[in-house]
C-alpha cells in the first residue's frame, strides 16, 4: 500500500470521526436534564433576564442553528463560560489551560515508563518462555493487569502517602521533600520546581503506569512468542547470530507491529485510568476537573472537557498511525 494513500485515508477518517465526536458532544449536552440558562443565573432572576440569557446562548433557535453556532464557537476555541465551577462565569479556556500541562505531564511520563518497561519485560519473558523467570513475570503482570486502577491507586495512597508519609497526599506541586515549610511555588527556583513536581507526581505515575505496563508486557510477550516460533528465526539462529542480533534485527521489528496497534487502541483506556488516578490523588489535572464539573453539574465546562479528552485520544491514535507507517514494512512507498 502506498504510504501517502494510507495516511490520506486515515486523515479523512480522522475528520469524519472528529465531526461525529462534535455531534455526539452537542447532542449529549442537549438531552441533559435542566435548563442551561437557569443553571447560569442566580435563583429568582426575572423572566426578561432569563430570556435575554437564553437568546445569548442561542437556546431559542432551532437545533440546527444551535449546532451551527456550536461548531463555529468550537473552532474559535470559545467554550463559553462556567456556570457553577468557582468562580462562576470564568472563561472555560482559562480554567482548562493551566491544568492541561499537569495532565500531559502525568500521561507523558507514565506512558513513556510503561512502554519502555513493558516492552523490555515482555522481551525478557518471551526469550525465557516456560522458565521460572517467565512464570514469575507473568504472575506479577497478571496481578497488576487485573487489579482495578483505583484500588491500586488507593493502596499506594494509603501506604506511601498516608501511613508512611513519604509522599504528599494531594496536589500537583507545592511541597518539597525534607522541607517542612516550603516557599510558595511561584517563588521557587527552577530546580526546586522540578523537585517539587517530581515529588508530587511519583505516586500517581506509579499507579497509572503499573497497569499499562502489565498490559503492554502481555502483548509484547505474546507477539514475540508468535514471532519466535517462525522459521526465519530458526534460520537466523542457525546462521550463528547471537541472541541480541536475533532479537534486535529479526524478532523485534515484526513483533512491534501489534504492540503499536494495541497501544493506539488502549488510548481510550489510558485516559480513563489517568482520570481515576487524578481523582484519587487529588492531582490538579483535566481528569480531576472533569470530576469537579460533574459534582457541580457544570455543563459548559463538562462539554468542553469531554471534547478535549476525545480529541486527545484521537490525536494519540493519529500519532500511532503515523508511527505505524514508518515501522511497518508492508506500508511503504
Least distance between other proteins and beta carbon 290 (Å): 6
Rule CB under 8 A: which residues touch other proteins?
A: 13, 16-17, 20-21, 24, 28, 31-33, 142-143, 145-151, 154-155, 157-158, 162-163, 225-226, 229, 265, 267-269, 271-272, 275-276, 279, 290-291, 294, 297, 302, 305-306, 309-310, 312-314, 317
Of the two residues 22 and 206, which places its CB atom closer to other proteins in the complex?
22
Q: Please name which of 138, 129, 122, 144 lies closest in space to residue 220, comparing C-alpha atoms.
A: 122
Least separation in angstroms between residue 54's CB and other proteins is 21
Which is nearer to other proteins, 149 or 196 (by Cβ)? Answer: 149
Calculated CA dihedral for residues 154, 158, 162, 166, nearest 10 degrees: -90
Question: Closer CB to other proteins, residue 176 or residue 277?
Answer: 277
Q: Is the CB of 88 or the CB of 161 nearer to other proteins?
A: 161
Nearest to 106 by CA among 242, 280, 231: 280
d(CA 176, CA 283): 16
Cβ-based nearer residue to other proteins, 109 or 304 = 304
Q: At closest approach, how far in Å is the CB of 219 from other proteins?
A: 13
CB of 38 to other proteins, least distance (A): 17
Min dist CB 23 to other proteins, Å, is 10
Cell of 135: 512464570
Given a contact cutoff of 8 angstroms between Cβ atoms, the answer to whether 257 and 324 are in contact is yes
Dist. CA 251–CA 257, nearest whole Å = 11
Spell out the residues 6+ positions from residue 327 whose beta carbon is closer than 8 angstroms to its own: 253, 256, 257, 260
Q: What is the DSSP letter of 88?
A: T
Can you tell me which residue has the cell 490525536?
A: 315
The residue (of 205 and 313) whose beta carbon lies closer to other proteins is 313
What's the min distance (Å) between Cβ of 237 and other proteins?
18
Angle at 82 (CA atoms; ends 81, 86), nearest 5 degrees: 135
Amino acid at each position: 500500500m502506498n504510504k501517502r494513500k494510507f495516511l490520506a485515508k486515515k486523515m479523512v477518517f480522522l475528520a469524519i470521526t472528529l465531526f461525529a465526536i462534535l455531534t455526539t458532544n452537542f447532542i449529549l449536552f442537549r438531552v441533559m436534564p435542566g435548563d442551561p440558562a437557569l443553571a447560569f443565573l442566580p435563583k429568582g432572576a426575572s423572566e426578561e433576564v432569563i430570556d435575554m440569557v437564553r437568546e445569548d446562548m442561542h437556546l431559542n433557535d432551532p437545533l440546527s442553528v444551535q449546532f451551527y453556532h456550536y461548531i463555529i464557537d468550537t473552532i474559535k476555541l470559545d467554550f463559553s463560560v462556567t456556570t457553577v465551577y468557582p468562580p462562576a462565569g470564568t472563561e472555560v479556556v482559562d480554567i482548562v489551560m493551566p491544568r492541561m500541562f499537569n495532565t500531559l505531564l502525568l500521561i507523558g511520563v507514565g506512558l513513556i515508563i510503561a512502554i519502555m518497561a513493558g516492552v523490555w519485560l515482555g522481551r525478557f519473558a518471551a526469550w525465557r518462555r516456560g522458565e521460572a523467570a517467565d512464570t514469575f513475570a507473568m504472575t506479577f503482570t497478571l496481578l497488576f493487569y487485573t487489579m482495578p486502577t483505583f484500588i491500586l491507586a488507593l493502596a499506594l495512597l494509603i501506604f506511601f502517602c498516608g501511613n508512611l508519609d513519604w509522599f504528599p497526599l494531594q496536589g500537583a506541586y507545592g511541597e518539597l521533600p525534607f522541607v517542612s515549610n516550603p516557599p510558595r511555588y511561584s517563588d521557587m527556583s527552577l530546580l526546586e520546581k522540578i523537585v517539587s513536581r517530581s515529588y508530587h507526581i511519583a505516586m500517581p505515575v506509579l499507579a497509572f503506569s503499573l497497569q499499562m505496563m502489565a498490559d503492554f508486557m502481555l502483548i509484547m510477550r505474546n507477539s514475540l512468542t508468535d514471532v519466535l516460533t517462525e522459521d526465519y528465526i530458526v534460520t537466523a539462529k542457525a546462521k550463528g547470530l547471537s541472541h541480541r542480533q536475533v532479537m534486535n534485527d529479526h524478532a523485534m521489528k515484526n513483533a512491534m507491529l501489534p504492540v503499536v496497534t494495541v497501544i493506539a487502541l488502549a488510548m481510550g483506556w489510558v485516559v480513563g485510568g489517568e482520570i481515576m488516578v487524578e481523582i484519587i490523588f487529588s492531582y490538579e489535572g483535566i481528569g480531576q476537573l472533569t470530576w469537579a464539573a460533574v459534582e457541580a453539574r457544570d455543563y459548559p465546562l463538562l462539554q468542553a472537557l469531554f471534547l478535549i479528552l476525545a480529541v486527545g485520544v484521537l490525536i494519540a491514535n493519529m500519532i500511532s498511525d503515523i508511527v505505524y507507517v514508518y515501522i511497518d514494512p508492508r506500508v511503504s512507498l
